[in-house]
Amino acid sequence: MHRRRFLTLSSALIAQSWIKAIADSGFCAFVKPPFTRKIPKRIVQLGRVRVDEYAWLKDANWKEVWRNPASLGTPIKAHLEQENSYSQKVLAPTQKLQEQMFHEMLARSSGDDLPPPIQDGPWLYFNTFPQGAQHASWYRRRKDGEGGDELLLDGEARAKGRAYFNITNVTHSPDQMLFAWAEDAHGSEKFQIFVKDLKTGKIFPNPIHDAFGDFVFSPDSQWIFWVWRSENSRPAKIFRRPAHGGMDTLVYEENDGAFLMSVSCTAAKSYIMIRSWNAETSEVRLVPAQAPTSVPQVVEHRTHGLIYSVEDWNGRFVILTNADGAVNFKLMWADAANPGRKSWKDWIAYRPEAYITGMLPFRNFFVRIERVDADALLLVTKASTMHETPIRFDDPAYAVALLDDQEYSASDLRYVYQSPRQPKQWIAYDVETNQLRMLKAASAGTGFDKDRYVVERIFATASDGARVPITLLRRRDLVMDGSAPMLMYGYGSYGYFVEPVFSGETFSLIDRGWVYAISHVRGGSAKGWSWFLEARRLTKKRTFTDFIACAESLIEHGYSRRGRIVIHGFSAGGLLVGAVNNMRPDLWAGVIAQAPFVDMLNTMSDATHPLVPLTRPDWGDPLVDPKIYDYIASYSPYENVHRTAYAPVLATTSVADDRVGYWEPAKWIAKLRDDDTSHSPKMLQTEIEGGHGGAAGRLAVLQQTALFYSFAVWALTRDCRHRAA
């Protein structure tokens, strides 16, 4: 009865009741922030001089700290502990709300949002979350029903006693005699790869160390190809090891620090594929399945500006590429015997409005994914007729993805569909009959009704006229008078698209009268690879001005109003929220910065950082180009903090995070405190053991999200701002 009454309250009253409850809890009580000492460091680059007062927060042995977080210098560790204590004290009155949100989120995350069993020959492979477990367990059972479920990997048991633990790339060998996975026990993403003999149940001794996480069994099941992570945390070599254990053999070494590497098998299992790539250039090497110890052969040597990937389909190669000015990519044929660029011929002609994001061949059909204006479309081509059939989706905003590990000989296509209000659905599409079959539908808990909610896709107009997509989720009964609070998320870098997926966690805000918005700003790829290219290097500020334009458009249309929008960014999304916090501090009620890339000018000036050579094609090199230096200096969040009234900020980081160093948010928070005239809390929470994303276990992730959302609710208590002594 109370639940039904709660759902009938107006969104504005719900939001106001929670804000008042926190304000009445004594949240205004003064808590003195930590003192951050200043040790000025004079930096001279390209004739430019700047002084960094908080450079000391970056440990002199920072690379060793990534490998061994316990080696962090005592003064820095003490300071981070003081920051943790401060944020915990300031947010203590929100603890009850955090706990309530956590239990709500847990009820909507029943563990059934895992894929249905994957068939491989006579076996079905699947994983589950045991009751109360942080980590999944993996099983298999015979398709004919004989015997029971066979436990392959108990993630909870592997994680026992560890502060941080993450399992990835769980797979079995093609002959189904071996089972393998990669695990990270510190958060530094230096994985160990373990292999289990499914006949004896024994895990082989001497696991693979210092792996990047990527690995693949050769199609004959005799070898494991894996990516080695260098001391500089860069994927630098491909090794081959006997699947049952033995010595590693170097297969390929990537000497250019500006390239990432991956290893996989083509869908037909005809080749092992090694791909070197960055945002501008790629190169593919193939090892035939029939000769897994042979030297990898280059498909087309790297040419600056040429991006391509390869699949083999019925005796020919299909090339997904930006060749010939196809900025948003096209498909081409290539001769398998002579696959170089000279043999490439157009198959799917280039259409600028359609961004081809992926492809997957089957023996009797071929699938590609296209995205237009932030929405995806599946196109299925039959091998017998080469006739093309689209699979369309009607919701205003949604996410669709092809399932991994589909059998090449399958007669149906399996994909997962979801939207911000629709939990995951696993669907099989029969290519011959065009019929759809529901394989599994995830639940969002008892009483969840998607019809109570509305998903919208609107467009904001940027300052240069570009139409920027925004995905919105809200309650259907929301009063569109600007009174609703809003959580606004953005990323906008590296061509990454923020998919409008279902998130049960979000409804802990939505049911309290909030609006959730994803701003698909330039720098991402919502409207194609061209959308990414329009906001990088000397045009990067478009990412930030697009985000501001989205906020202003949402205010204009009555979704919220100035001072009632909390913004959230992760990693390079932290760069986004840090930049717009400097550019338009008047718009925001609060800022959630998760592993934020905010000390950008200093980081991009350090060529020894593992990601700097890789990402300089995106940002430019401030050490060789004065224009790039001045441009980055004009928007880097740390350098552009200025005397003004800033909203409350909650930043999170991990000492072991080797993508964005812990010192970036630590320095930024100190600088914000110096210049903030509102004296609102600027908080930093640091995990000693943890990865780039912070928490890894399922429950720990929910707890972190509950913290973020409780902070967002608190941030609207404008009359309860923290006051300096």
Which of 283, 222, 278 is CA-nearest to residue 249? Answer: 222
Tokens of 376: 């995806």
Residue 261 CA to residue 282 CA, distance in Å, equals: 10
Chain Cα centroid distance, residue 222: 33
3-state class (DSSP) for residue 617: helix
Which of 396, 357, 354 is CA-nearest to residue 372? Answer: 354
DSSP 135-148: S-EEEEEETT--S-
- Strand locations in 581-628 (E): 588-594
Q: Cβ–Cβ contacts within 10 Å for residue 480, how many?
A: 13
**DSSP state, residue 86:** H
Amino acid at 170: V
Residue 611 CA to residue 596 CA, distance in Å, equals: 15
**DSSP state, residue 644:** B
| Residues catalogued as catalytic | 571, 657, 692
Question: 235-242 and 565-570 as β-strands: parallel, antiparallel, unpaired?
Answer: unpaired
Contact 638, 58 (CB under 8 A): no
Contact 240, 296 (CB under 8 A): no
Among the residues of 415-540, which ranges form H helices?
507-510, 529-533
Phi then psi for residue 573, to 5 deg, are -65, -25
Which of 647, 655, 504 is CA-nearest to residue 578? Answer: 647
Contact 295, 308 (CB under 8 A): no
Residue 442 CA to residue 263 CA, distance in Å, equals: 31
Amino acid at 145: G
Tokens of 251: 């297969």
Phi then psi for residue 388, to 5 deg, are -110, 130
Residue 382 CA to residue 51 CA, distance in Å, equals: 63
3-state class (DSSP) for residue 435: coil
Largest CA distance in the chain: 77
Residue 384 CA to residue 432 CA, distance in Å, equals: 11
Which of 582, 710, 570 is CA-nearest to residue 652? Answer: 570
Residue 570 CA to residue 576 CA, distance in Å, equals: 9
Which of 660, 662, 716 is CA-nearest to residue 684? Answer: 662
C-alpha dihedral over 326, 329, 335, 336, to 10 degrees? 150
Residue 190 CA to residue 192 CA, distance in Å, equals: 7
Contact 413, 402 (CB under 8 A): yes
Residue 603 CA to residue 687 CA, distance in Å, equals: 21
**DSSP state, residue 586:** G
**DSSP state, residue 200:** T
